[in-house]
Structure 1
Amino acid sequence: MNYEQALDYIHSIYKFGSKLGLDNINYLLQLMGNPQQGLKVIHVAGTNGKGSTCAYIRSVLAEQGFRVGLYTSPYLEEFTERIQINGVNIPKENLAEITTFVKEKVELMLSHGKNHPTEFEVVTAIGFEYFKRQKIDYLVLEVGLGGRGDSTNVIDAPLVSVITPIAYDHMDYLGDTLGKIAFEKAGIIKANCPVVTYLQKDEAMEVIEEVSKAVNAPINIAPIKEIELVSYDDSGQCFHGFYGNEKIENLKISMLGEHQIENAAVALAALNILASVHQIPISKKALYDGFMNAKWPGRLEIITRNPTTVIDGAHNVHGMQALAKTIKKLYAEKSMTLVIGILGDKDVEGMLGEIVPLASRIILTKPNNPRAMALDKLAEMIGVYGKTAKKSISISNAIQEALDCSTPDDLIVFCGSLYMIGDVRSILKEKK
């Protein structure tokens, strides 16, 4: 099959839904020769900050000269973004070839009376096969959902298990308390394998510590409280942090938001484990260059100036709090046009409470997803704040309306769903 046929096949599997559990993916991978075995993996779970943390780790290792695979989800603009080596997306012809191979194994699996794998299981299998064929040095592997039953959790012994901030999200799958959610995230912790975690809230921290202790996994809490902010504007940030017991001064990152400094601190702690426990050489130059050059599109990303136009994938309350905090810090003097679209299964009320009070003008649109909240319902919820909102089913029309009603001195913010942000990013880039 060609690339378009491969994508059609992958997306056609969406109808099989999302299932947590490893039986299906293990069976499929076994038929493929277990391509995941032998890969040297940095496994990253959490509610927020997974992608950015992965980006920092990948960037530093690549600066050191290694071939580093990166597996993430979802994608923003191109499906091939999900499977990368050193920042280069999987070539379309490779995706087509490997999808053909995986499809043959899926059909064999079905002939054995097994259930059809989900879309995420198939894509994960494609990723493992690509990374094996390309003989990468390391794989930075982002969990899709949860951890314990996530398809990426088929790996045996990661070099380090990383857990980023845990918050309320996907509660229908993961549980309705931080403890239950943390238990699912902590499922990536393996016996005797080091763990690096963000300094979680007590309820989540206790669970992670219990799981780590039960399997004799050494736990390392990233030194978030020791961070010293040096400078911060909308071109980037500079801070002092720690790399093991060593103070790293004037580390610069281009990603915006104080939460990105915390994500960087978690990544630093993980990199220190790679160097100190696994003897992977990481130079100071690779650290500084890797953090400065790390990018994670669609997260507090400035697309244009005059007006300042920001896109952010904030899609839960924790993410919206981080976005609101950054707006207050960097753009308090600007009048803001908010363009927002949200999936209906999110904590919409909580998300709106963080961002709507900051907006002078509001435009509603629908992410390209069947779970998108109806605009009438969203408008009704915004009305609680004494504000009215324009409704635009078309994302492109919403963008144009935002540009039309904003002056060069204003701020335009697009947020609410990663599914929307990818479309916004593509359209805005074309308008440049």
Structure 2
Amino acid sequence: MNYQEALNYIHTPMINGMKFGLERMQLIMEALGNPQDKLKVIHIAGTNGKGSVASYLSHVLTSAGYKTGLFTSPFLEAFNERFKINNQEIENEALSRITGLVKEKVEAVQVSLSEFELITAIAFQYFHEEQCDVVVLEVGLGGRLDSTNIIHSPVLSIITSIGYDHQAYLGDTLPEIAGEKAGIIKEGRPVILYPQEKETEDVILGVASEKNSKVVIPDFSQIKLIEKSLEGQTFDYKDCKQINISLLGEHQLKNAALVIEAIESIRAEGFKIDGAALIRGLAATKWPGRFEVIKQRPTVIIDGAHNIDSVRTLMGNLTTYFHDKRMIAIFGVLKDKDVSQMIEEVSSRIQTFITVTPDSPRAMLAGELADELRDKNLNAISSESYEEAVELALKMANTEDIICSFGSLYYIGSIRRVFNQLEK
């Protein structure tokens, strides 16, 4: 199996869409020899911030000398981004070979898998073959029935900020969603929990109590911002002083504090991570597509904000960094999102929109999105391609304006690529 054949196989699953349950994963993992049981795993669930927290942790653990696997989703520009070791993407040859092995086992046990189940099986096999010291594992959707939840005893479970998203699968209320996320908590294993609304937090604390799991909640009042700019931020958290991060926004200070607490817990599990490795790892962390400045004059920002909470955070960051600037948005969204509420969140700050159709079968068409914006008396132009959207935005903007592309992780990587090509 070559690389393109591997991608074709992965992208043509036997089960289309989402079908929850762990029975199929159990079958394929048993056929592979249960590689997940031979790995030390840090498991991360949550609505927002999973990827940033995972990247922070991966960089810190790598900085401390551990061979660190990282599994995240979705990818921005290249499929191989999903699987990294020491922050280096999987090679095409390895992906092809392991996909071929997984395909053989799938056929042998006659199990039908979804795309994400295939990807998860490939990840576990890859990290096991490469003998990773530790794996940072991001949940795909929810937690309790997510295919990553095949693991039995993680080093640590982390639950990031919880908000409304994927209600059709996870429930209509925050406590219901929290119950699904809390499904990654395992008997006697520690949990780091991002502070939540009380009713949400109570659900998670209840599950942790049933599982005899110690919970640590960061104290965000201990964050002291020292300096911020478009190049990064410097802050203190408790006894950790002069921490530098390149990720922007107040929420990234909170995510970094969450990681600092996670590292303290990991140390208690026997990992040797000194203060210097922590500082180096946090400073080295990059996480493309999350309030990322990719161009100046005009300033261009891409952000994968795709639900109400993340859009609200994006608007807060835009106000903080660019409170007096005119803004033009490139906007693409999936049709199963609360599009009306998203528009409500951004309309007080942005009045001019260029709409695109994300590369997803769940995408809202650019024309439909433009119509919704116009119905709310906002200026909107629909574009036929990402290239056209970028061209239109640059024609509209002067050097002091802000262009912000947001709404779905399924297209901002392509927007990023178009802007980067223009710079060459």
TM over 0.5: yes
Q: 5 Å matches for 1:3-402?
A: 3-13=3-13, 16-110=16-110, 114=111, 116-242=112-238, 247-275=239-267, 277-402=268-393
Query: Whole-Å Cα distance in 1 between the matches of residues 180 and 149 of structure 2?
Result: 11
Query: Whole-Å Cα distance in 2 between the matches of residues 14 and 103 of structure 1?
Result: 11
Secondary structure, counterpart of 1:422 in structure 2: helix
Query: Whole-Å Cα distance in 1 between the matches of residues 367 and 83 of structure 2?
Result: 37
Q: Select 2:394's aligned residue among 393, 403, 407.
A: 403
Contact persistence 2:142–2:181 (CA under 8 A): yes
Deviations 1:25-45 (A, max 9, x none): 011000011111120111000
Query: How far off is 1:108 after superposition?
Result: 1.1
| Aligned-residue RMSD, C-alpha | 1.1
Query: Whole-Å Cα distance in 2 between the matches of residues 319 and 50 of structure 1?
Result: 12
Letter in 2 for 1:329: T
Secondary structure, counterpart of 2:70 in structure 1: strand
Query: How far off is 1:241 after superposition?
Result: 0.8
Secondary structure, counterpart of 1:37 in structure 2: helix
Query: Whole-Å Cα distance in 2 between the matches of residues 14 and 108 of structure 1?
Result: 15
Secondary structure, counterpart of 2:273 in structure 1: coil
Q: When the two structures are aligned, how many residues end up with a matched partner?
A: 423
Secondary structure, counterpart of 1:237 in structure 2: strand
Query: Whole-Å Cα distance in 1 between the matches of residues 119 and 328 of structure 2?
Result: 37
Query: How far off is 1:69 after superposition?
Result: 0.3
* Structure 1 segments unaligned to the other structure (5+ residues): none
Deviations 1:300-351 (A, max 9, x none): 1111111100000000011101110010000112111111010000011121
Query: Whole-Å Cα distance in 2 between the matches of residues 392 and 250 of structure 1?
Result: 45
Letter in 1 for 2:61: L
Contact persistence 1:57–1:267 (CA under 8 A): yes
Query: How far off is 1:15 after superposition?
Result: 5.0
Secondary structure, counterpart of 1:16 in structure 2: coil
Contact persistence 2:351–2:379 (CA under 8 A): no
Letter in 2 for 1:6: A
Structure 1 window deviating more from structure 2 (351-360 vs 61-70): it is 351-360
Letter in 2 for 1:63: S
- Counterpart in the other structure of 1:420: 411
Query: How far off is 1:381 after superposition?
Result: 2.4
Query: How far off is 1:14 after superposition?
Result: 7.0
Query: Whole-Å Cα distance in 2 between the matches of residues 306 and 14 of structure 1?
Result: 47
Contact persistence 1:256–1:300 (CA under 8 A): yes
Query: How far off is 1:390 after superposition?
Result: 0.7
Secondary structure, counterpart of 2:76 in structure 1: coil
Query: Whole-Å Cα distance in 2 between the matches of residues 207 and 29 of structure 1?
Result: 30
Percent same amino acid at aligned positions?
A: 43
Secondary structure, counterpart of 2:330 in structure 1: strand
Contact persistence 1:198–1:224 (CA under 8 A): no
Contact persistence 1:367–1:420 (CA under 8 A): yes
Query: Whole-Å Cα distance in 1 between the matches of residues 224 and 172 of structure 2?
Result: 34
Query: Whole-Å Cα distance in 2 between the matches of residues 269 and 403 of structure 1?
Result: 42
* Structure 2 segments unaligned to the other structure (5+ residues): none
The two structures have a TM-score, normalised by structure 1, of 0.96
Letter in 1 for 2:241: E
Query: Whole-Å Cα distance in 1 between the matches of residues 174 and 43 of structure 2?
Result: 21
Query: Whole-Å Cα distance in 1 between the matches of residues 62 and 307 of structure 2?
Result: 31
Runs of 4+ with deviation above 3 angstroms? none
Query: Whole-Å Cα distance in 2 between the matches of residues 292 and 14 of structure 1?
Result: 42
Deviations 1:203-239 (A, max 9, x none): 1100000000001011111222321111122111111
Deviations 1:44-96 (A, max 9, x none): 00000000000111111111111100000100011000000011000000000
